[in-house]
Structure 1
Amino acid sequence: MQVTETLSEGLKREYRITVPAKDLDGRIANRLEEIKTKVKINGFRPGKVPAAHLKRVYGRSVFGEILQELMTEANRKIVDDNKVKLAMQPKVSLPEEESEVEKVVEGKADLTYTVAVEVLPEIKIGDLKSLSVEKPVADIQDDEVNETLTRLATQNATYEPKDGKAELKDKVTIDFVGSIDGVEFDGGKGEDHPLILGSGQFIPGFEEQLVGVKAGDKKDVKVGFPADYRATDLAGKDAVFAVTVKEVAGANNAAIDDELAKKLGMESVDKLKEAVKDQIGSGYKQASRQRLKRSLLDALDATHKFDLPPTLVEQEFAQIWSQVEKELASGGDKVREGKTDDQLKAEYRTISERRVRLGLLLAEIGEKNDIQVTNDEVTKAVVDRARQFPGQEQMVWEFYQKNPEALAELRAPIFEEKVVDYIVELAKVTEKKVTKEELFADPDDDKAA
C-alpha cells in the first residue's frame, strides 16, 4: 500500500492511496481460500469449488470486506506516519466508473482512491498558573431566608371556605375552558382546579381577574399568551377562559414555628431555618461557580489562539443556527434584537469558533494531565438522568447502555468540569463580594458561554 500526500492546506490534508493489483488480488485469494470449505454451491463438493468460480460468485462481497480493511489500515497509516490526530472521520472517494471498479475486482488494475481529512491543530498550552480570574460571591441575607420561610408556610397553610369575595392569597377552586377565536385548544381545560391567587401559577393577567369573585360566579377571563410561551401554537395569541368558581377559601394564619418544621420533616424551626439557608447557599455556590467558570473560559479564550478544523466549526454553527431559526420562527424577537440574518450568522459563527476552540483546548489540557472520567462517575450520571423519568428508569438505563454516543454526551460535561477544577487549582482566583442581583444577573453576551 502506498500513501501519497496530495494536499496540505492549513488543517486540511488529502492523500492518494494506491494498492497494487497483485496485493489486492492476493488478499482476495486468501479470503476466498478461507471460505472455500464453508460455502455450499450446487454441483460442487465442499472444498472442491474451483477458485475462478468461487471468485465469480463471491468476488464482489469479498472485495467489499477487503476494501473496508484496507481503508482502516490506510487511515491508521496516515495517522501514524504523519503523527496527526484526526478532527473527524476521513472522507473517502472511491472509483465511480463501473468499468474501473470491475478491472480492480478482477485484478487487472491497481486500486486507487483518495482520502480527505481534517487534522487537529497543534495546541500549545499556556502557563495556567498565570491566569487571573474573579469569583463573585454574595452573602445570604436574612430577609431572603425569611421570605422563603414565609412562602413555605403559605404553601402549607390550611384553608377554610368563606362567603365573601376572593382576595389575593385566597384559594379558589375553579372549572375552566380556554378558547381562541371561539375554538377550544388542547390543554386549556380543567375541573376542580385549586388556584392560589397571586401565586403566578397561570399565565400573567389570569389570576388578577379572579380577585373579587365569589363561589358560584362565572367569568370570562381574557388573557394573551406570552410571545415566548413554551407551546408555540399558542405563543402570542389572545385567549378567553370561561371560568366557573366553585369555592373561595381563605388561608389560616401561616405560622413559622415548630409545627410547620415538623410538617416538613424537621425537628424544629431552627433546623428548618438552617436547611433553608443551606438550600439558598447551594444556589449561590452554583451561580458563583458558573461565573468563575465563565471568567476562566474567557481567560483561556483570550490567551490561546490556533487554527480550527473548518468542518468542526461548521457543524457547531449548524447546530446553533438550527436552534436560532426555531426561536425566530416562534417569534423570538429578543434573539434578533434588530439584526439581519447575516449579522446574526456572523455573531453565532464567532460563538461557534469559541466553543470549538475551548472544547479542543480543554480536551488537550485533560489529555496532557491524564484527567479521566471513571465508570462510576458515568454510572452515577446515568442513574441521575433515569431518576428524571419516574416509572421509566429501566428504559432510560437500557437506552444509555445500548447507545455509546448518548453515553458520551453524559461523559463530556463531567470531563469538562474536572478539567475546569484542575485549572482553577492552578489559576489565581480572587473572590469578589457582589450583591445577589449581580451574582444572578446574566452577562450581556451570556449566549457565548
Structure 2
Amino acid sequence: MQTVETLNEGLKRAYTLTISAKDIDARVEKEIKSVAPQVRMPGFRPGKVPANLVRKMHGEALQQDALNSSIQEGVQKLIGDNKLRPAMQPSVELAEGYAPGKDAEVKIELEVLPEIAAPKIDGLKLERLTVEVEEAKIDEALQGMADANKQFEDAAKSHKAKTGDLVVMDFVGKVDGVAFEGGTGEGMSIEIGSGRLIPGFEDQLVGVKANDEKTIEVTFPEDYNVETLKGKPATFDLVITAVRSPKEAKADDEFAKALGLEGIDQLRGLIKGQLEQELNGLTRTHMKRKLLDQLADAHDFDVPPSMVEAEFNQIWAQLQHEASHEADPEAALKEMEGDRDEYRAIAVRRVRLGLLLSEIGQANGVEVSAQEMNRLIAQAAQQYAPKDRERFIQYIQQEPMAAAQLRAPLYEDKVVDFLFDKAEVTDRAVTRDELEAAIEAEGDEGHVHGPGCGHDHSHDEKPKAKKAAKKADDKAEDAAEKPAKKAAAKKADDKAEDKPAAEKKPAAKKSAPKK
C-alpha cells in the first residue's frame, strides 16, 4: 500500500492511495478459506467444496468486500500515520478503470481542523446583570393565571354576548350552499375574543342571545390547512344554546387549592421561582455573549471551508423558512440576498468559536459523562410518540454524528461555565427592561454559539439590516401559566369534542427520525 500527498494548502489535503492487486487478492483468498466450511453445494460433503468453486460462486462479492475493507483500512492508516484531524468526512473516490487483478488507485480529499494555539482564557472580565423579581410582577402573573382559568355562569336570557363571554352553539358550515365535511357540530363553546376561530367568526357572535338563530359569513384564510377550503367564502348557520358570563377571577387560597396546591403562598413561591429562572436565563445569555465577544476578539485562525459551508447552509435554510412566512416573501428573500456576505461571516464566526470552545474544553478536561448523555437521550426521546422512543434511542446510539449533535449544547454550556468560573465577574443590578435592551442591542453584533450546537439561534446574531425581533420572554409561554398547566384541569366548556372546521388547528407532532 503506497501513499502520495498531492495537495497541502491551508487546511486542504489530498492523497493518492495505491492498493496492490496482490494485497487485494490475498484478502480474497483469506476470505474464501473463511467461508468455504459454510458453503453447501450438491455433490460435495459440507465443508469440502473446492476453493476454486467457492471463488466461482462468490468471487465477485468477495472481491468487492476485499476492496472496500482495503480502502477503509488504508484511509484510517493514512489519517493515523499523518496525524490528521479531519474536519468532515473525507471524500474517497476509486479511480476510473479499476478492474479485478489490477492495482486500485484511490483519491482521498479532506479538510483538517486548524492547529489552535493555547487559548487565551486568563484575564477574562465579565459583568453580570442581575434582576430581582418584583412582587408586583408576581401579583400580575397570579391575576393572569386566574383570568386564564376563569369560570363561567349562565347569563340572563336577555343578555347580549360581548367580548369575554362564552357562547355555546350548534352550527352547520356551508360552501356554495352545501354543507362541507367537518363543518357541523353541536354544543361547541367559544370565548369571544379568544382568537380560536378564523378571522371574522368570533366578531359576529357579539350581541347574540340564548336561543338566537343566526347566519354568519366568513372567508377561510389562503393558508388554511384544508385544501378544499382555502380562500373559500362560507356561511355558518348557528343556533345559540347558551351565553355564559365570566365569574370574577380571584387569585386566592381557593384558586390555588383548585390547582392542587396547599394555598396561595405555595403558588406565589412557584411563580417566583419560575420568574427567577427566566431572569437568570436572560442574565446568562448576556454574560455568554460578552464572553464569546472576548474570545472572538482574542483569537483568529483559519477555519475549514466545508464546516463554514455547512453552518451557512443551516443559517440560510432557517432564514428562508422565516422569509416564507413573511407578508411579502419575495421582498424578504431579496433582503436576505443583499446580506448574504454578512451571514457567511456569521457562519465563519460560529465555526471558529465552536472549535475554540472545543479546544478549551479538551485542554481543561471538560467532559459530558455517560450518565449525562443518557439523560440527554432520555429527554430528547420524550418529544416522540411512545412507540418511536426506542427507535430514536437506537438511532442516537448507532449514529455518532447524531449523538455528537445531541451532546454539543451541553458540552458547550459546560465549557462556558468553566470560563465563567475562571473570569473576574462583577455584579450590577438592573431592571428587566434594561437587561432585555442590552441583549437585543448585542443581537446585531455577531454573538453566536458553536457550530452545530443544536441551540435555537433565533436570538443570535443578525446583521444590522435584519435585527433579531423577539425577546427571550416572547419565545416561551408566560411563566405564570406553567403551574396552572401542570395542576389545573381544563373546564368542561373548553373540552367540547365538536369543533367547527373554522377552528385553528394545532401543529403536527414531530415524528421519529429515519435512517
- Shorter-chain TM-score tier: 0.7 to 0.9
Aligned to 2:245: 250
Distance in 1 (alpha carbons) for counterparts of 2:117 and 2:184: 60
| Contact 2:161 2:207 (8 Å CA) reproduced | yes
Distance in 2 (alpha carbons) for counterparts of 1:187 and 1:350: 50
Q: Provide closer, same or farther for how the CA distance between residues 415 and 239 of structure 1 changes in structure 2, counting only shifts above 3 A.
A: farther
Q: Provide closer, same or farther for how the CA distance between residues 56 and 338 of structure 1 changes in structure 2, counting only shifts above 3 A.
A: closer
| Contact 1:125 1:304 (8 Å CA) reproduced | no
For residues 248-305 of structure 1, the C-alpha deviation after alignment (integer angstroms, 9 at most, x for no partner) is 2122222232211221223232232222222222222222223322333333333322
- What 5-or-longer segments of structure 1 have no aligned partner? none
Distance in 1 (alpha carbons) for counterparts of 2:326 and 2:50: 71
Instruction: Give the TM-score of the pair, scaled to structure 2.
Output: 0.73
Distance in 1 (alpha carbons) for counterparts of 2:424 and 2:388: 45
Distance in 1 (alpha carbons) for counterparts of 2:288 and 2:224: 29
Most deviating of 209-218 and 357-366:
209-218
1:146 and 2:139 equivalent? yes
Q: Provide closer, same or farther for how the CA distance between residues 258 and 202 of structure 1 changes in structure 2, counting only shifts above 3 A.
A: same
| Contact 1:36 1:49 (8 Å CA) reproduced | yes
Aligned to 2:75: 75
Distance in 2 (alpha carbons) for counterparts of 1:240 and 1:318: 42
Residue identity matched to 2:148: Q
Residue identity matched to 2:274: Q
Q: Provide closer, same or farther for how the CA distance between residues 213 and 378 of structure 1 changes in structure 2, counting only shifts above 3 A.
A: farther
For residues 48-99 of structure 1, the C-alpha deviation after alignment (integer angstroms, 9 at most, x for no partner) is 55544443433332222222222222222222222121112221111332xx
Q: Quote the sequence identity (%).
A: 38
| Contact 1:400 1:407 (8 Å CA) reproduced | no
Q: Provide closer, same or farther for how the CA distance between residues 7 and 42 of structure 1 changes in structure 2, counting only shifts above 3 A.
A: farther
| Contact 1:382 1:397 (8 Å CA) reproduced | no
| Contact 2:39 2:49 (8 Å CA) reproduced | no
1:429 and 2:425 equivalent? yes
Distance in 1 (alpha carbons) for counterparts of 2:227 and 2:370: 43
Distance in 1 (alpha carbons) for counterparts of 2:310 and 2:323: 20
Q: Offset of 1:337 from its aligned partner?
A: 5.0
Count of residue pairs the alignment pairs up:
438
Aligned to 2:115: 122
Q: Provide closer, same or farther for how the CA distance between residues 402 and 115 of structure 1 changes in structure 2, counting only shifts above 3 A.
A: same
What secondary structure, in the 3-state scheme, does the structure 2 residue paired with 1:37 have?
helix
Residue identity matched to 1:428: E
What secondary structure, in the 3-state scheme, does the structure 2 residue paired with 1:247 have?
strand
Aligned to 2:58: 58
Aligned to 1:274: 269
Most deviating of 135-144 and 187-196:
187-196
Aligned to 1:416: 412
Q: Offset of 1:147 from its aligned partner?
A: 1.5
- 1:110 corresponds to which of 103, 109, 112: 103
Distance in 2 (alpha carbons) for counterparts of 1:148 and 1:110: 75
Q: Provide closer, same or farther for how the CA distance between residues 265 and 324 of structure 1 changes in structure 2, counting only shifts above 3 A.
A: same
For residues 177-232 of structure 1, the C-alpha deviation after alignment (integer angstroms, 9 at most, x for no partner) is 7789999999887653433344455567765554433332536365886x9x8969
Instruction: Give the TM-score of the pair, scaled to structure 1.
Output: 0.83
Distance in 2 (alpha carbons) for counterparts of 1:186 and 1:307: 60
Write the mapping of 1:14-413 to structure 2, written as runs, cut at 5 A.
14-42=14-42, 49-97=49-97, 100-101=98-99, 105-106=100-101, 109-163=102-156, 164-174=159-169, 191-202=186-197, 207=202, 210-215=205-210, 216=212, 218=214, 220=216, 242=236, 244=238, 245-331=240-326, 333=328, 337=332, 339-340=334-335, 342-388=337-383, 392-404=385-397, 405=399, 406-413=402-409
Distance in 1 (alpha carbons) for counterparts of 2:164 and 2:25: 85
Q: Offset of 1:23 from its aligned partner?
A: 2.9
| Contact 2:4 2:16 (8 Å CA) reproduced | yes
Q: Provide closer, same or farther for how the CA distance between residues 94 and 426 of structure 1 changes in structure 2, counting only shifts above 3 A.
A: same
Q: Offset of 1:165 from its aligned partner?
A: 1.9
Residue identity matched to 1:416: E
Q: Provide closer, same or farther for how the CA distance between residues 327 and 253 of structure 1 changes in structure 2, counting only shifts above 3 A.
A: closer
Distance in 2 (alpha carbons) for counterparts of 1:8 and 1:51: 45
Q: Provide closer, same or farther for how the CA distance between residues 420 and 51 of structure 1 changes in structure 2, counting only shifts above 3 A.
A: same
What secondary structure, in the 3-state scheme, does the structure 2 residue paired with 1:130 have?
coil
Q: Offset of 1:115 from its aligned partner?
A: 1.0
| Contact 1:92 1:114 (8 Å CA) reproduced | yes
Residue identity matched to 1:265: G
Distance in 1 (alpha carbons) for counterparts of 2:427 and 2:183: 49
What secondary structure, in the 3-state scheme, does the structure 1 residue paired with 2:122 have?
helix
Distance in 2 (alpha carbons) for counterparts of 1:378 and 1:221: 55
For residues 303-347 of structure 1, the C-alpha deviation after alignment (integer angstroms, 9 at most, x for no partner) is 322222122222222233233333334446489558445324323
